[in-house]
Structure 1
Amino acid sequence: MARPDKAAAVAELTDEFRESNGAVLTEYRGLSVAQLTELRRSLGQNARFRIVKNTLTKIAANQAGLEEQVKDLFEGPSAIAFVHGDVVEAAKGLRDFSKSNSPLVIKGGVIDGKSMSAEDITKLADLESREVLLSKMAGALKAKQGQAAAVFQALPSKTVRLAQALADKRNEEAA
């Protein structure tokens, strides 16, 4: 029979997997407590960094329906960044921290139910923030509307110029 503390830990991890937008698994071997605290701060309010036992995490991932996505990531000591919100921001925080602190290794993760490799997460971190992407999209849409308006405005003015040219030619021929 499972001990109550372990059952509670598995239930908590299962809830984290189900409720989060993404979970990024890392190896933290060699990081000091101060560095882990700095990492937690760098992830911001949208992510929760937890050091977990692989056995309990495998059980929780299985119960959350994510066993296939994360089964190969539980080698060595593991920690998970559970992301509630902008996944790109958390991926940037992990990438930047791992650049300056080489013991942190990104193993991979699950984002919106899709398995992601370490390279995929690094590519995700290279994306611009959601707000920047939305503003670029809005600018592109506004530009297309301006181009469409110019086309629609050009058609009647060209028609008027053509009619004027025809009238001028008739007048020349009549004279």
Structure 2
Amino acid sequence: MNREEKKELIAELSGLFGSTTTCIVTHYKGMTVAEVEKLRREMRAAGASFRVTKNRITRLALEGTSFEGIAPLFVGPTAIATSVDPVAAAKVCVEYAKKNDKLVILGGSMQGKLLDTQAIDALAKLPSLDELRGKLLGMINTPATRIAGVLQAPAGQLARVFNAYATKDEAA
């Protein structure tokens, strides 16, 4: 990798750190290519990304970003999980680490605040942004559905009364 490629990679990573809210640092030592690809697919499905990085280049890219505090974590075979949704990357990392002990979560940062492994576990237990939106819409729709049901009930009862009179006259 020549100097120009390194500068481009640093600029790309700096842009990534500037556009994301959460970054989780992991060790992936011993994982096969198939396992890493499976983790990447799960990350993409959740709206996050997983990327193996070079430590020196990543530390340079972290300079001047809100994630600068996680630079000491970049020792050994590291990879980063990033997402705009504060919960997505943490949720997938924690779930995958439970199934595969080769993925070790070292720490991370969310919007400039450092996270240890316990904080990442707690973050992973929170509902995602999409789940919260779904619950909110459900709460908003429920009263509207009940109002519509109440408004339609008298009309339905009236129709049943008219139907009963019509069938009574036909029977007589």
Q: Same fold (TM over 0.5)?
A: yes
Q: Give the drift of 1:66.
A: 3.0
1:63-142 correspondence to structure 2 within 5 Å? 63-67=64-68, 69-84=69-84, 86-133=85-132, 135=135, 139=139
Contact persistence 2:48–2:88 (CA under 8 A): no
Q: Per-residue displacement from partner, 1:127-146 (whole Å, max 9, x unpaired)?
A: 1233444537985xx99xxx
1:15-94 correspondence to structure 2 within 5 Å? 15-45=15-45, 46-67=47-68, 69-84=69-84, 86-94=85-93
Q: Give the drift of 1:4.
A: 0.4
Structure 2 distance, partners of 1:48, 1:129, is 15
One-letter amino acid matched to 1:73: L
- Give secondary structure in 1 for the equivalent of 2:87: helix
Contact persistence 1:44–1:90 (CA under 8 A): no
Q: Give the drift of 1:63.
A: 3.5
- Give secondary structure in 2 for the equivalent of 1:63: coil
One-letter amino acid matched to 2:31: L
Contact persistence 2:23–2:89 (CA under 8 A): no
Structure 2 distance, partners of 1:61, 1:125, is 24
Structure 2 distance, partners of 1:23, 1:109, is 5
Structure 1 stretches lacking a partner, 5+ long: 144-175
CA RMSD after TM alignment: 2.3
Share of identical aligned residues, percent? Answer: 36
Shift of the 56–129 alpha-carbon distance from structure 1 to 2, 3 Å rule, reads same
Q: Give the drift of 1:44.
A: 2.7
Structure 2 distance, partners of 1:123, 1:58, is 26
1:14 maps to 2:14: yes
Structure 2 distance, partners of 1:131, 1:77, is 32
Q: Which runs of 4+ in 1 moved over 2 A?
A: 63-67, 128-139
Structure 2 stretches lacking a partner, 5+ long: 144-172
Q: Give the drift of 1:88.
A: 1.5
Aligned pairs, number: 139
Greater Rg over alpha carbons, structure: 1
